Amino acid sequence: MTYAIGVDFGGTQVRAARVDREGKVHAHRFVATAATNGPEAVIGQIERLVGAVMEDVGRAEILGLGVGAPGPVDPVAGIVLSAPSLHGWIDVPLRAILRERSGLPVAVHNDGNVAVLGEWRFGSGRGCRDFVYITVSTGIGGGIMADGRLLLGRKGMAGEIGHMIVAEHGPRCSCGNRGCWEAVASGTALSRAAGTALASGRRSSILALAAGEPIAGRHVMAAAAEGDEVALDLVRREGELLGLGLVGLLHLFSPERIALGGGVMHGLALLEPHIRHVVSERAMPAYRDVPICAAQLGDAAGVIGAAALMLADTSDFNP
């Protein structure tokens, strides 16, 4: 049997998995990222996890190592240009380093691109030529498959779908801009909206569900599931704001399907009617029937998609 190794790392976790040609995960390990210790510490974590998921498997059975890295990545050069959530990651030639140390073929892409590749080959996007994957959690990220290929653009920087402007004078975004889709519709934005609603003195079960923790999207969703009115209002508004961006993506990319993942999407059943309402009111008729569905691979989309970089039948994903 042959496998590819997939690695996905960010500010919170480093993950590695051994994946077969059907996208099945045979071994999966993760650790908390040594985010403040510089690139060499994190690269050491990657090496140890890769070693662990390759145990009991002959080297000849491993096709290669695919990596999804946070922040902008130059996939042609295999360089992580910057990783804002990690200390000291500027222009790290990760492909060359890992190739030398592992002896394996290596490909490096950004995490949004490997996640869309995973969902497209083995999850919610199977069978589509044109597909958009969106992850809504702290921020809004994702990626685009166009005619069966990753949309990369100059320096591999295409697909920053959280950074369309949907409100000129909207709240400040993590990128420095104002009114990006991410700034109004991410989990962070939903938490802020919940704080504002509760500060107005409306009665709600959200605070009790948060139980002293900072209010997060999941507390709002849990309260809404119980019928809490403040939470239901917040969910309606979150669905509308997600819908505004989705309408633009439908018109720009004309995908056959859009898949939604990330923490906020655990509440997709509650959000969906509001998203659907905006799409049916605002998208042009020919785009309204495009399925908007849940992503299928959950947290594993990244490692599976990273492995898929080495499972591709063409060289499209591995410049």
Binding segment for a copy of itself among 15-23, 133-141, 143-151, 219-227 (CB under 8 A)? Answer: 143-151
The interface region with a copy of itself, picked from 38-46, 175-183, 196-204, 219-227 by CB under 8 A, is: 175-183
Is 77 near a copy of itself (CB under 8 A)?
A: no
Q: Contact, 243 vs 279, CB < 8 A?
A: yes
Q: What is the C-alpha separation between 165 and 187, in angstroms, rounded?
A: 17
- Going residue by residue from 278 to 307, which x/- string records binding to a copy of itself, judged by CB under 8 A? ---xxxx-xx--x-----------------
CA distance 276 to 247: 10
For a copy of itself, the closer CB: 3 or 89: 89
* Surface-to-core class of residue 13, CB atoms within 10 Å of its CB (0-12 exposed, 13-18 middle, 19+ buried): middle
Return the residues of window 111-140 that contact a copy of itself according to CB under 8 A: 129-130
Neighbouring C-alpha atoms within 13 Å toward the C-beta of 84 = 6
Residue 171 within binding range of a copy of itself, rule CB under 8 A: no
Q: Which of 4, 17, 140, 247 binds a copy of itself (CB under 8 A)?
A: 247
The count of residues interacting with a copy of itself (CB under 8 A) is 46
Q: Which stretch binds a copy of itself (CB under 8 A): 1-9, 27-35, 171-179, 302-310?
A: 171-179
Query: Which span sits near a copy of itself by CB under 8 A: 95-103, 109-117, 197-205, 252-260?
Result: 252-260
Alpha-carbon gap, residue 103 to 86, rounded angstroms: 26
Long-range contacts of 278-284 (CB under 8 A, 24+ apart): 278/239, 278/240, 278/242, 278/243, 278/244, 278/246, 278/247, 279/243, 279/246, 279/247, 279/250, 282/243, 282/244, 282/247, 283/247, 283/250, 283/251, 284/251
Q: Should residue 164 be labelled a site residue for a copy of itself when binding is judged by CB under 8 A? A: yes
Q: Are 118 and 302 in contact (CB under 8 A)?
A: yes
Instruction: Please name the helix (run of DSSP H) or strand (run of DSSP E) that holds residue 110, with its range, or none.
Output: strand 106-110
Q: What is the x/- site pattern for a copy of itself, positions 179-218, by CB under 8 A?
A: ----------------------------------------
Q: Report the SS3 class of residue 283.
A: coil
* Binder among 2, 36, 177, 280 for a copy of itself (CB under 8 A): 177
Q: Which of 8, 111, 160, 238 forms a contact with a copy of itself (CB under 8 A)?
A: 160
Q: Is 75 in the site for a copy of itself (CB under 8 A)?
A: no
| Least Å from the CB of residue 98 to a copy of itself | 23
* CB nearer to a copy of itself: pick between 29 and 178: 178
Among 244, 268, 303, 306, binds a copy of itself (CB under 8 A): 244
* Interface stretch with a copy of itself, choices 117-125, 149-157, 196-204, 266-274 (CB under 8 A): 149-157
Which residues from 44-73 bind a copy of itself, rule CB under 8 A? 72
Instruction: Report the C-alpha gap between 82 and 263 in whole angstroms.
Output: 24
The burial class, CB within 10 Å (0-12 / 13-18 / 19+), for 284 is exposed
Position among 35, 81, 104, 221 found at the interface with a copy of itself (CB under 8 A): 81
Q: Give the residue from 98, 148, 111, 104 showing the smallest Cα distance to 128.
A: 148
Residues near a copy of itself (CB under 8 A) are 72, 81, 129-130, 144, 146-147, 149, 151-161, 163-168, 175-178, 244-245, 247-248, 251-256, 281-284, 286-287, 290
